[in-house]
Amino acid sequence: MNKTTINTDKEQEGKTLTHIIRKQPVPLDKAINAVKMQATPAVADDGTLTPGMPVGFIGSPGIGKTAQFAALAEELGYSIVSLIGAQMTPEAIGGIPSVGSIDIEDLETGKVTQVPAAVYLNEAFQVKIRTHRKVVLLLDEFSNSTPDVQAAMLKLLNERLFPDNSEVPAETIIVLATNSTTESVNPSPIQLATQNRVFWLPVQQTVTAWAPGARTKWGKPTLKHELDVRKAIVNYIVENPSVFYEPNNAMRISLIDKNLDKNAYDATVYAWRSPRSWDNYMEALARIPHDDKATFLEYAVMAGEGIIGVLGTQALYETLVDYAEAHIGNTVARITPEAIFADPHGALKSIPEDDANTAGSIATRFTAIITENGTNTNGQDEQMHRIVQALNFIVLAGNPARPHKALRVAFKPTMTAASKLATGTGMFLSVPFSIMPKELKRLAKGSTGNPESITLMNLVQVVEKAIYGA
């Protein structure tokens, strides 16, 4: 086996490099497995609990580093304490010194004397760690922490000690999350003492690892339409993995029109694709009312441009249209006859007068109710009620005083088809006035001398004449 040697700087000086150090980012799911192996406590040979080493994730913003640590805590039955260094002061880490006292014991006499001393007030996170012990302590956005905040964290990281020199419980897991120096806001160099005491992992999120959890929101409660939304969007991303992540870098920003309104320009800069923004966008889509296709698409585009960016939304648009067609259609295209019968006036108001597609869909189903059931003498009571309800809605929609434009047009073939069944056995069935809604009853009573009923054939003819004339 060939032996590889590492040359010192002096040995390497003046020589041509023949090897380049190359390290690939680790998928987040595998990185979390490494955390379980290295950062969690282990039992030593003598039975004592040995704390793990700190593990640090270095990865782009929005890929889910923080979310992965939160999921790990939940999996282990741990609490999580997140300290965002960029938002903290050294005192918030190390504690605020205060005047107090300590007990000093004379080893010869055993006498205990209280003497003045400087003590440190415990911050809330310290109290939680001391009481819960099983805690994932996440030092988040570490590279954005100022040097003095990083210095205050050194004692926690390097010695696992609180400011009062008491030990951090061995059960406590310490992890870090940071962006690369090129993607951090006002980054501070990570101190040498910290660099050399942390297991550093460059991490990336992959579509393959992300997709299964994203489809179900990682088993968490979802909004009414969210699972359908997530299935559609995640499937699109799986089929088009290049759209998954869009670095918010200078190249992307350079593509934005500099002549945009200043507010529009900023909004465009701030919206870009990442696992985090895709997750936010899927929830946003679920929050948009699923009543009308055009309205849904309008607000889906608005949300897309504001969350995943303009380019991402443009690429996704056909998928959004397909989703709307499958799950929304045109307003109430999926409305059932039963829903109409339950609230005919409400259904009439919900259908736009220019919505020919919805009107046509309803008319087709009403034609089937009248023509198919009108020739069948079995189960007459139930069938007759459905026919009566259908004709009543047709009367409401075709009211000459205030006709519904789309439905009036759509129901014309329905009434023509019903009239052609005048020779069918069922068309001579007697329809009692007692089962008719008032609008239909008023119309029917005025066309027959029978005070109790009217034949189905005559009722169809009466409705057709009232709406469309002789």
* Mean pLDDT in consecutive groups of 10 residues from the start of the chain, 470 residues: 53 56 86 94 91 93 89 93 80 64 74 65 75 91 81 83 84 91 66 84 92 90 92 95 84 83 89 94 95 89 94 91 80 67 86 80 84 55 84 91 90 85 62 88 80 86 85
Instruction: Give me the pLDDT at residue 226, please.
Output: 94
* DSSP code for 29: H
Report d(CA 458, CA 466) in Å as an integer.
Answer: 12
**H-helix segments, 39-123:** 65-76, 90-94
Report d(CA 396, CA 408) in Å as an integer.
Answer: 10
For residue 322, the tally of other CB atoms under 10 A from its CB is 12
CATH 3.40.50.300 domain locations along the chain: 19-94+124-204
Report pTM: 0.60
* DSSP code for 79: E
Give me the residue label for tokens 């030593």: 44
Phi, psi dihedrals of residue 441, rounded to the nearest 5°: -65, -45
Residues 52, 58, 59, 64, CA torsion sign: positive
Report d(CA 69, CA 82) in Å as an integer.
Answer: 10
* 225 within 8 A of 290, measured Cβ to Cβ: yes
Instruction: Give me the pLDDT at residue 9, please.
Output: 55
State the fold for domain 19-94+124-204.
Rossmann fold (3.40.50)
> In this structure, what token pair is assigned to residue 82?
């997140």
* 73 within 8 A of 136, measured Cβ to Cβ: yes
**H-helix segments, 177-274:** 192-195, 207-216, 226-239, 250-254, 262-270
Instruction: Give me the pLDDT at residue 98, please.
Output: 59
Residues 6+ apart with CB under 8 A from 100: 116, 117, 118, 119
